[in-house]
Amino acid sequence: MAADLINTYVYDAEGRICAMESVDPVTGTLSGDWTGYLYDAAGNRVAKGNIKPVWVYVPSLGKYALSYTCDITVNGFMPEEGYVVGPAGEQLSEMKWVNNGWSRWEHTNVYAGGKLIGTYDGNASAPTLHFHIDDPLGTRRAQVAGSGTNAGTLEAVYQSLPFGDGYNWNTTTGDDPTENQFTGKERDTESGNDYFLARYYNSASGRFLSPDWDAKSDDPVPYAKLDNPQTLNLYAYVGNNPVARMDADGHSTLTFDGEAHTVTLYDKSGKEVGHWETYNNVSIQAPKGEGFQGRFTNGPILDGIYQIRQADQKGGKLHVGEPADSAFGSKGVIHLDDAKTASGATVQDDALHAGRAATKEHDQPQSKTGGCARTTPDAMDVIQALAPKDPLQTMTVKNNQKNVQQWQKDAKARGDKIP
């Protein structure tokens, strides 16, 4: 999309918006003010600033004309904001360019389980903490003071419509500490668009500004399911179902539902690739055949959004090729970083896998585990096929409270101390 009813855009060779011109809010005409965006080698946005037009020769006009380019060596890029980003591209801290240097700290976002839970802002020597209260899809709905004499008091309430438009907030402090709003994504003040890492999203139209695509496929409509017309629109947001679904970051994600006993794979545009039978059926003690057989387990995984260990996807192999009776089976494994469990512990070895195909006790999704979620071999085959071109970033665990509560009940009955 080169322009909408509000902004004009320029794209770089990677298909990312690298510059945009906004409309003057008073006159309703193009303002002439252009913002440029800079990305690092991994494709994460790390800075924005002002740019100027340059003279270029236009063959169709047969003359030179003023135009805009992404080339910072000629467009006079002047920084305004810079970002420190995390391993998944999420914005950790924002700095302002003042007096020819990154001399003013603006805020630092706090994450847990892959979810934005709070923000520090104010004076850098004595920052103020604000906690965010989100809806199930990660959109901020309230803000509570996390420090100072007012700690624990309500500071603001937020409202928006399902696609993220109609954003409004009421506050007692006048402090909105971070631009991360709709599903936790940064909303750019100059354009009104949300930065979804892989693409930009316009909440007013409920569409992404660039299409979904697959560099390794000749399919003109990649990831489409022909029995679902909603998947045919490459600009659509989560299949036009924003009430029940979210796009984590423009990359593929998994969602495990503890009540439905399913795991669902979504591609980077939020379209469903498939869903399969999956259980987080955890023993009090690690079951027979586990590498730590008889040891007290940490129980099922708590609800949350967890980062997926990228080393598991190196080369898209998912550890495939291990013996069928190995710890996770021959279909591979997807580990969760810092998984929170029913025992109160945070662990690194909980994962999604299909289990030991050669061991009868461990070859079904509902079989007992030492903490992992167990799915089907078909699920791992599809995940393996998608990983090389669209690596998984997060896995959402939801509706797993009954599994957690049952495990805690059984553990207490045995005399174990559970927080």
pLDDT in tens, 306-346: 878 766 655 444 554 455 556 666 777 888 888 899 988 88
State residue 194's pLDDT score.
95
For residue 177, what are the CA distances in angstroms to 110, 121, 180, 186, 205? 12, 6, 9, 12, 26
**For residue 24, which amino acid is it?**
D
For residue 28, what are the CA distances in angstroms to 6, 32, 67, 323? 8, 12, 21, 65
Whether the predicted pLDDT of 403 surpasses 60? yes
What pLDDT, in 10s, does the model give residues 364-398?
A: 888 888 889 999 989 988 887 877 666 677 888 98
State residue 246's pLDDT score.
74
- Average pLDDT score over residue span 82-102: 88
Whether the predicted pLDDT of 25 surpasses 70? no
- Average pLDDT score over residue span 398-402: 91
State residue 2's pLDDT score.
79
What domains does the chain contain, in order, with CATH numbers? Answer: 8-208 (no CATH), 246-413 (2.40.440.10)
Whether the predicted pLDDT of 129 surpasses 50? yes
DSSP 74-125: TS--EEEEEEEE-TTS-EEEEEEE-SSSEEEEEEEEEEETTEEEEEEES-TT
Tell me the C-alpha distance between 49 and 59, whole Å: 30
What pLDDT, in 10s, does the model give residues 233-282?
A: 888 888 788 887 777 655 678 899 999 999 999 876 566 788 999 999 98
CB atoms within 10 A of CB 374: 28
| First vs last C-alpha separation in the chain | 52
More confident residue, 194 or 271: 194
State residue 171's pLDDT score.
85
Residue reference for tokens 């509000």: 6
In 223-376, alpha helices (H):
none
- Average pLDDT score over residue span 43-56: 90
Pair of tokens at residue 264:
């669902």
Most confidently modeled of 83-87, 106-110, 317-321? 106-110
Tell me the C-alpha distance between 139 and 120, whole Å: 18
State residue 46's pLDDT score.
95
Whether the predicted pLDDT of 285 surpasses 80? no
Tell me the C-alpha distance between 3 and 370, whole Å: 53
pLDDT band at 187 (very low <50, low <70, confident <90, very high): very high
Compute the C-alpha angle 380/385/388, nearest 5°: 120
DSSP 283-333: -SBPPTTSTTTTSBP--SBPSEEEEB-GGGGGGG-TTTTS-TTSSS-TT-E
State residue 308's pLDDT score.
82
More confident residue, 182 or 99: 182
Tell me the C-alpha distance between 196 and 187, whole Å: 9
- Average pLDDT score over residue span 116-125: 88
Q: What's the mean pLDDT when you consider all of the chain? A: 82
Cα maximum dimension of the chain: 85
Checking phi first, is residue 378 left (phi over 0); if not, alpha (psi -120 to 50) or beta? Answer: alpha
Any idea which of 22-31, 151-160, 269-278, 403-412 has the lowest mean pLDDT? 22-31
Percent of the chain that is helix, strand, coil (3-state, to 5): 10, 35, 55
More confident residue, 417 or 375: 375
CA 40 to chain centroid, in Å, comes to 18
State residue 216's pLDDT score.
44
